Structure 1
């Protein structure tokens, strides 16, 4: 793994992604202390992908992952990631990962992921989506400005902002209702610091970040922001089209084609700052009104 200065901003995220190998194909991850003290879905997805990557040759890069959030995680319990080596083929390697925790003495699954890795080959067809024309990140407000603007309501964002920098095209707490065909939203992200050069780490970090704002697309047509609703990820998928550095700025576009029965389907597209289309994300999430 990578050696980073203790206390550095990138080290905060890398500490989440670093796992202890407890047994053969069994890895353990920890949850950092945060104001809300809950397990963020991107954390479990990123850690599960890292567990899979520990069992795959370094020259095979992840090209897709598909996952389900089965139970809410307990932030005060360690998470055990059990890797099943499903396939080791000539071109593709497949891994299934089950994340488990102990609840009242019972071992239960909280998350399941299947990831596929490819040796890479010469392309017959090659195309991609062009990056939309949006303002550059340095011209936009960041997390500190949003927290200062909204005070206690946004204070929980500060901890995440120390590990992942964000630049907002819209105020996430005061977005106007969107209507077709203009239902998309954009946010710039990058890991705060330098992660090193291992592609596996950058893929896991990108997976971590990809869960941050995606479900917001599900209520974009209503306007407002997270204080008006509660939500939870039900499943999450990422297709990695091209290698990307998570510690360089990348643009995340989100949209939702359908919402019904308390669930919203959301899609994301990710471009690196130079306009390269690097990933596509999909998620279905649960959206409910605030209790009371």
Structure 2
């Protein structure tokens, strides 16, 4: 798997996804240096998916994952991913992954993931959502350009997304409130540089990126943004992969939130490749709290 990535951003992401194997079904992931007090959820999800993929037969590719964030991850501790081979069928293969870290001398679970993979199947029903008509990424400012006026307030957002280039269509810190039926948000993303020609790497990279902006959809009807008013955390995360994607080429990420209550928001995402191919659907429930008490 360890073909060299083309530049520092892609190399940084590959250093996160290229796990150390310590036993047949035990893998270890590291966290790059970060100013954050907890590990970015997309990192743990991407690493857990890579651990599951490393135990699959060569003819199987992951078509869905379902996961729960159990505890905040400590960026100063290694993460151990234990894979349970719970099904090896003629067509489908299922893996369960538990991610653990040390806390006060004991191992505790911080994340769990179940991934299902399958051998190629002939298509019967074939349909997909059309890609929305939105501005192309080359016409939009970079994330660094867009958040430059916010200085240190934007440091965390830039640190989380340094391996994934983003072109947003709205200021993430100062959005206008959205009203039905126009509640969707759009962003172009890609890993900056070239990733290895390994489909599992691109699937894991998309999983990593899919956690970057999704929970923000829960704030879309309030307007504003994170920027010190709210704090949020992912509670669970699911991805269905419809087609193979290249995560180092531009893809469009559409997000929306159909329901929010009791401090939680349910958010959905749709992903299209730049050519209009509908490649994935994402779902997440997240915690949103006001910092004003």
- Tell me if the contact between 1:265 and 1:283 (Cα under 8 Å) persists in the aligned partners: yes
CA distance in 1, matches of 2:6, 2:194: 13
Q: Which moved more, 1:201-210 or 1:58-67?
A: 58-67
CA distance in 2, matches of 1:275, 1:5: 26
- Tell me if the contact between 1:67 and 1:235 (Cα under 8 Å) persists in the aligned partners: yes
Unaligned runs of 5+ in 2: none
What corresponds to 2:286 in structure 1? 285
CA distance in 2, matches of 1:37, 1:165: 23
Aligned ranges for residues 6-17 of structure 1 at < 5 Å?
Answer: 8-17=8-17
- Tell me if the contact between 2:215 and 2:265 (Cα under 8 Å) persists in the aligned partners: yes
CA distance in 2, matches of 1:88, 1:204: 21
CA distance in 1, matches of 2:61, 2:6: 28
**3-state SS, counterpart of residue 146 of structure 1:** helix
Unaligned runs of 5+ in 1: none
Aligned ranges for residues 60-79 of structure 1 at < 5 Å?
Answer: 60-79=60-79
- 1:88-124 CA distance string (max 9 Å, x none): 1111110000001110011111100000001011111
Aligned ranges for residues 125-204 of structure 1 at < 5 Å?
Answer: 125-204=125-204
- Tell me if the contact between 2:271 and 2:281 (Cα under 8 Å) persists in the aligned partners: yes
Q: Structure 1 93/5 Cα, relative in aligned 2: closer, same or farther at 3 Å?
A: closer
- Tell me if the contact between 2:267 and 2:283 (Cα under 8 Å) persists in the aligned partners: yes
CA distance in 1, matches of 2:61, 2:251: 19
CA distance in 2, matches of 1:2, 1:189: 23
Q: Which moved more, 1:3-12 or 1:217-226?
A: 3-12
* Structure 1 length-normalised TM: 0.97
* Structure 2 length-normalised TM: 0.97
Q: RMSD over aligned Cα, in angstroms?
A: 1.2
CA distance in 1, matches of 2:155, 2:40: 16
- Tell me if the contact between 1:78 and 1:101 (Cα under 8 Å) persists in the aligned partners: yes
Cα drift, residue 291 of structure 1: 5.1
- Tell me if the contact between 2:22 and 2:28 (Cα under 8 Å) persists in the aligned partners: yes
- 1:119-157 CA distance string (max 9 Å, x none): 011111000000000000000011120232221211223
Cα drift, residue 2 of structure 1: 2.5
Between the two proteins, the alignment pairs up a number of residues equal to 292
CA distance in 1, matches of 2:118, 2:95: 12
